[in-house]
Amino acid sequence: MIRDYNLRKRVMVTGGAGFLGSHLIDRLLERGDEVLCVDNFFTGAKDNIQHQLANPHFEVIRHDINNPLFVEVDEIYNLACPASPIHYQHDPVQTTKTSVHGSINMLGLAKRVGAKIFQASTSEVYGDPDVHPQTEDYWGNVNPIGPRSCYDEGKRCAETLFFDYHRQHRLRIKVARIFNTYGPRMHPADGRVVSNFIMQALRNEPITLYGDGLQTRSFCYVDDLVSGFIALMDSADEVTGPINLGNPGEFTIRELAEKVVTLTDSKSELVFKPLPQDDPKQRRPDIGRAQSQLGWQPSVPLEEGLKRTIDYFRTFA
Domain boundaries, the chain: 10-181+221-248+284-299
Phi first, then psi: what are they for 119, rounded to 5°? Answer: -110, 125
Q: What is the mean pLDDT of residues 285-311?
A: 97
Q: What is the mean pLDDT of residues 302-306?
A: 96
Catalytic site includes residue 221:
no
User: How far is it between the farthest Cα atoms of the chain?
Assistant: 61
Q: What is the mean pLDDT of residues 285-310?
A: 97
Give CA–CA dist 171/191, Å, rounded.
Answer: 36
- Residue 175 in 3-state DSSP? strand
Predicted pLDDT at 277: 72
Give CA–CA dist 25/230, Å, rounded.
Answer: 11
User: What percent of the chain is predicted at pLDDT more than 70?
Assistant: 97
Lowest mean pLDDT among 25-34, 150-159, 164-173, 275-284: 275-284
Q: Is the distance from CB of 310 to CB of 202 less than 8 angstroms?
A: yes
What are the pLDDT digits (tens) for 225-269? 999 999 999 999 999 999 999 999 999 999 999 999 999 999 999
The distance of Cα 144 from the centroid of its chain, to the nearest Å, equals 21
pLDDT for 4 beyond 70: no
Where does the pLDDT of residue 219 fall: very low under 50, low under 70, confident under 90, or very high at 90 and above? very high
| Domain covering 10-181+221-248+284-299: architecture | 3-Layer(aba) Sandwich (3.40)
Long-range contacts of 291-297 (CB under 8 A, 24+ apart): 293/235, 293/239, 293/243, 294/228, 294/231, 294/232, 294/235, 294/239, 294/243, 295/231, 296/227, 296/228, 296/231, 296/232, 296/245
pLDDT for 2 beyond 60: no
The structure's pTM equals 0.93
Give CA–CA dist 301/298, Å, rounded.
Answer: 8
Among 151, 165, 182, 221, the one annotated catalytic: 151
